[in-house]
Amino acid sequence: MAFHFEILKKDETTGARLGRCHTAHGVFHTPAFMAVGTQGTVKALTPEELREMGAEIILSNTYHLYLRPGHERIRRLGGLHRFMHWEYPLLTDSGGFQVFSLNSLVKISEEGVQFQSHLDGSRHEITPEKAVEIQEALGADIIMCLDECTPYPASHEEAERSMELTLNWSERCRDSRRREDQALFGIVQGGMYPDLRKRCVEALGGMGFDGYAMGGLSVGESKERMLEVVSRTAPLLPLDQPRYLMGVGTPLDIARAVLQGVDMFDCVLPTRNARNGMLFTKGGRLVIKNARYADDDSPIEPGCSCYTCRHYSRAYLRHLYLAEEILAMRLNTVHNLHFYLNFMGEIRQAIAEERLKDWVKTCYAQGASEEENDPGEPDPWGSSFPQKLAGKRNPAPVRAASMK
Ligand SMILES: [Zn+2]
């Protein structure tokens, strides 16, 4: 088995851990952020550019690749690593989250989930066995169990039924795997109910997975609620295995979850926001289209070492964005991903030097100054989720379902 997780250091005063994860395609360091490459590409960037900015592991979406170009085709062409020219650690989700979030005609049964393609209306069924089969054909280093993302809000009874289904599916995923060079992660569900989350952790732990994810979060609940569930769930997970918080989040969300002992994250925020002209800086957001940047010759963030900040001014980036030039998306994505990956590097450094708590406090202090930065715009540091979507049956595809 190629997969192995090493904990290099545990923070004395918090739950944070510094680690190293060995996979069939090399090593990644934790806490880690995985850029989202929905269609087998992190939008607007080449693998070389990703690697240059320090990406060690990326994520791709099973649902999209299954529908187009098809997992069997990717297998015939040598697997996803070769197909997309990324030779390093790669994770695929199970496809379940996208089935639920991108389709209105979804039927869930004990057997699996039936749905119609969002592309052409064709009918499909994904069972736990099928989810593993597809992910084995794609060949990522870490694959995920099929789970049901518990809707929010859900009653205790609904969340319990949903969690039981996830447990049943998880066991079937474990039993159907054939490849031994891939790690399989179980996903903890249970809605916002600590007793259900605890039961789910115990049952999954008994099945024996290579790592554990927390799912069903960042689906419309308040940030406080999300962090409370994380803080009560993460400590129950096996100490010596990686913990992955799916679909989270803003830089501060990530920092707070690291304090609770989470090792892995993924989110579309840095890439999607880049394409919408929203740039992350230490002082908060920067909305590049704002008139105040029309004559601004400074980089997005003075001192940032990314390619974009080394060569281009806010004024030029604003011009590219308003002119709808392709380069705007590329340059903005370079900066935002650099920001996230650099942020994770600083977290790891702070854990190594036993000053994580102080470092997080400094982040808060800097983030607070954003209020004067761009008044009236959505606040990416404060909310990873549009409030108007709260409570809908289908969680908005913040996690990784970006279509455009
Ligand atoms: Zn930059």
Query: Tell me: the pLDDT tens digits for 83-94?
Result: 999 999 999 999
What pLDDT score does 83 carry?
98
Six token digits for residue 317: 């980036």
How much of the chain is helix, strand and coil, in % rounded to 5? 40, 15, 40
Six token digits for residue 98: 């996208």
Q: Is 120 exposed, middle or buried (0-12, 13-18, 19+ CB in 10 A)?
A: exposed
Ligand 1 centroid vs 263 CA: distance in angstroms?
25
Ligand 1 centroid vs 280 CA: distance in angstroms?
9
Ligand 1 centroid vs 252 CA: distance in angstroms?
18
pTM of the model: 0.92
Say what percent of the chain tops pLDDT 70: 90
Smallest CA-to-CA distance from 83 within 145, 39, 144 is with 39
CB 188 within 8 A of CB 204: yes
Query: What one-character-per-residue DSSP string does 297-313 give?
Result: -S-SSTT--SHHHHH--
Asked if the peptide bond before residue 153 counts as cis, ω within 30 degrees of 0, the response is yes
CB 172 within 8 A of CB 129: yes
DSSP-derived 3-state class of residue 288: coil
Per-residue pLDDT of 39-92, as tens digits, reads 999 999 999 999 999 999 999 999 999 999 999 999 999 999 999 999 999 999
Residues 296-311: what's their mean pLDDT?
A: 98
Looking at residue 194, its amino acid is P
What pLDDT score does 1 carry?
58
Predicted confidence band of residue 387 (pLDDT cuts 50, 70, 90): very low
Catalytic: which of 93, 147, 210, 263? 93
Ligand 1 centroid vs 60 CA: distance in angstroms?
25
Per-residue pLDDT of 5-40, as tens digits, reads 999 999 999 999 999 999 999 999 999 999 999 999
Instruction: Answer yes or no: is pLDDT of 229 > 50.
Output: yes
Residues 127-138: what's their mean pLDDT?
A: 98
93 labelled catalytic: yes
What pLDDT score does 366 carry?
78
Ligand 1 centroid vs 61 CA: distance in angstroms?
27
Least confident range of 148-162, 251-265, 312-326, 379-393: 379-393
Ligand 1 centroid vs 337 CA: distance in angstroms?
9
Query: What one-character-per-residue DSSP string does 362-376 give?
Result: HHHHHHHGGGGTSTT
Length of the chain: 404
Instruction: Answer yes or no: is pLDDT of 197 > 90.
Output: yes
Predicted confidence band of residue 240 (pLDDT cuts 50, 70, 90): very high
Say what percent of the chain tops pLDDT 90: 84
Instruction: Answer yes or no: is pLDDT of 382 > 90.
Output: no
What pLDDT score does 381 carry?
47
Sheet with 106-108, side-by-side order of all strands: 106-108, 113-116, 123-126
Six token digits for residue 264: 């892995």
Ligand 1 centroid vs 311 CA: distance in angstroms?
9
Catalytic: which of 141, 253, 266, 379? 266
Predicted confidence band of residue 389 (pLDDT cuts 50, 70, 90): very low
Asked if the peptide bond before residue 151 counts as cis, ω within 30 degrees of 0, the response is no
Smallest CA-to-CA distance from 366 within 377, 358, 354, 355 is with 358
Instruction: Answer yes or no: is pLDDT of 373 > 80.
Output: no
Q: CA-CA distances (angstroms) from residue 251 to 8, 58, 210, 255?
A: 23, 17, 26, 6
Ligand 1 centroid vs 377 CA: distance in angstroms?
21
Ligand 1 centroid vs 300 CA: distance in angstroms?
6
C-alpha 205/C-alpha 194 separation (Å) is: 16
Contacts of 12 (CB under 8 A, 6+ apart): 354
Provide the β-strand partners of residue 91.
59, 142
What does the radius of gyration of the chain's CA atoms come to, in whole angstroms?
20
Instruction: Answer yes or no: is pLDDT of 380 > 50.
Output: no
Secondary structure letter of residue 36 according to DSSP:
E
* More reliable by pLDDT, 170 or 218: 170
Six token digits for residue 47: 């693998």
266 labelled catalytic: yes
Question: What mean pLDDT is reported for the chain?
Answer: 91
CB 242 within 8 A of CB 5: yes
Ligand 1 centroid vs 354 CA: distance in angstroms?
27
Predicted confidence band of residue 142 (pLDDT cuts 50, 70, 90): very high
